[in-house]
Amino acid sequence: MDDPRRSADRDLEQARAALERGEVHHAADHLAGAIAHAPTLPEIHELLSRLAAREDGGLELFPLEQHAFVGTVVARAHLLAAAGRPEDGLPLLAAASGHTPGVDWAGVPWVSDPDLGARMDPGLLARIVMQLCTAVGDPAPEAGQAALRPYLTLVRHAVEAHPEHALLLGAGSALARRLGEAPQAVQWAARGARLRPSKLAEIWLGYAYRTAGRIPESLAALRRAVMYDPDDLSVYADIAGTLADHGRMDDALAWIDRALAKNPDDDCAVHTGHRLRYRADGDLAHLVRLADFQRDHIDDTHEHTDLAECCADQPWLSRVPSAPDTPPDPEREPFVAGAPSPAAVERLRRVAHPLWPSPPAAYDAALGLVLVEPEDLLALVAAPPEAPDDEVGRALAAHDPALWSRCAQVWACLGLLHHGTEEPWAESSRRRLLVELATGGLDRITEAALFALVTYAWVDPSARTDVATLVAGRLDEAAATAGLAWSIAHLALATPDMAPAVRERATAIIKAEENYTGPLIPRQRRRVAGRLRRWLSGR
């Protein structure tokens, strides 16, 4: 939690003292800590050079073990470079960059030295770059791109030395487009595709053209990739996604249908298909079917974010909405006695957050609350604790003070779902408790309990009819309650298998309240909430 430079200086001072005492292993430990805080600090590298001057080069002081500390890995990489083996150190440095891309692990002279690009085996460098690209995202987060640019400089030097190595050109193109260098990405990918035509070369070229905004050329390259391998349905999904992003939804869905006709269980085709169909008609059933597919196919070929993308920024699908405050219902009967334990409060504070990727993801995230007794969870619902004194808690206090207590109630209700899971839903204690909370009044507890019930309907198809009936009933009863009706209407829209007539009624309630221009102007609250969401999601 301290300033990184101060922490690095403290570790560096202890490393020097240990070295003066001849305690080289302690010195190495502190040096690894220092480099983790300030990886390019010259004083650290000066001390590393003293260890490199040892007869063994200091390598045994920084062993590679399972779950090695990142500072140890980076220090070993630098010692390998100092020993004349930079090609052995680079994979370690790249692994650190893949672990934390925003840290300037590679901002050291030996990585950007033109001699390294010339001496490294271009195939090895290409594989290192491909692994790095997989780890840093596409595109790489803007805030972390500067820390990755030394690798792009290295690739440029390597391409100058090996201008006809097609794999290096393709991998370099993938890195360049992740760092916003679209013209360079196109140039390298096009040269690689000419030198050694292949499916992978055309995919790299198609992605480079897409990043550069040259959509016809991108689609042409991806179609050529399909000709190389008609059974790689991930390329069909890429073509469909590109078409959809540029207003050609019918063509996009045609490509998805072609892919699903070949293999209805292909994960890329299924994820993309449900995402695009949801974009086309807004029917929640597509997302529910996607969640069901994810639950039944936990060994997909790679991680997909389609469900989270579709749920993003939608009330209850990905966040606790900021609606006009609803006071506690004076008619609600007290349902707990006593206060929650300090341990329960602490566990809730560690879990509760106003954002989540999707309802199934919220259900999974609440699993940690299985260690909190139901009585404590109910006490947390009845009397939410103060917000934690951390970055998120302070942001909530500044932008939307009421949102924390709503979050706490939501997550406490989600925690109830993880108790008594061996009981059949219809007769379970978790259902009984949540239904009592959802129907015991009309207030913020109502919406928190209803969201937990809706979340359970996402993860257990057998509960969907029951939950849809409960939510529809509460929507009717809350229709005249300003603020709460808007929130419960959004809950109805987030409920699997909700009847079309109820969805239409919920949509009408939302439009009516959002068009209201009375003292509590919803649009003003949404602007405040929007700023808060952008801050939270950008952390």
* pLDDT > 50? residue 412: yes
The predicted structure's pLDDT at residue 323: 58
pLDDT tens column, 419-431 = 999 999 999 999 9
Give the rounded percent of residues in the chain with a pLDDT score beyond 70: 93
Confidence band, pLDDT 50/70/90 cuts, at residue 181: very high
- Please state, in angstroms and rounded to a whole number, the distance separating the CA atoms of residues 430 and 83: 62
- Please state, in angstroms and rounded to a whole number, the distance separating the CA atoms of residues 51 and 72: 13
pLDDT tens column, 440-449 = 999 999 999 9
Confidence band, pLDDT 50/70/90 cuts, at residue 488: very high
The predicted structure's pLDDT at residue 302: 72
- Please state, in angstroms and rounded to a whole number, the distance separating the CA atoms of residues 130 and 126: 6
- Please state, in angstroms and rounded to a whole number, the distance separating the CA atoms of residues 91 and 135: 13
Angle between helices 145-161 and 122-136 (to 10 degrees): 160
CB neighbour class for 364 (10 Å; exposed up to 12, middle 13-18, buried from 19):
middle
- Please state, in angstroms and rounded to a whole number, the distance separating the CA atoms of residues 454 and 414: 10
The predicted structure's pLDDT at residue 398: 80
Average pLDDT taken over every residue of the chain: 92
* pLDDT > 50? residue 326: yes
Nearest Cα residue to 310 out of 358, 262, 245, 363: 358
The predicted structure's pLDDT at residue 322: 78
The predicted structure's pLDDT at residue 519: 45
pLDDT tens column, 222-254 = 999 999 999 999 999 999 999 999 999 999 999
- Domain map of the chain by residue range? 342-537
The predicted structure's pLDDT at residue 520: 45
pLDDT tens column, 200-212 = 999 999 999 999 9
Taking residue 26's Cβ as centre, other Cβ atoms within 10 Å add up to 16
> Taking a C-beta distance cutoff of 8 angstroms, is the pair 185, 212 a contact?
yes
The predicted structure's pLDDT at residue 528: 45
Nearest Cα residue to 58 out of 33, 79, 77, 41: 79
- Please state, in angstroms and rounded to a whole number, the distance separating the CA atoms of residues 507 and 510: 5
- In terms of residues, how long is the chain? 539
* pLDDT > 70? residue 536: no
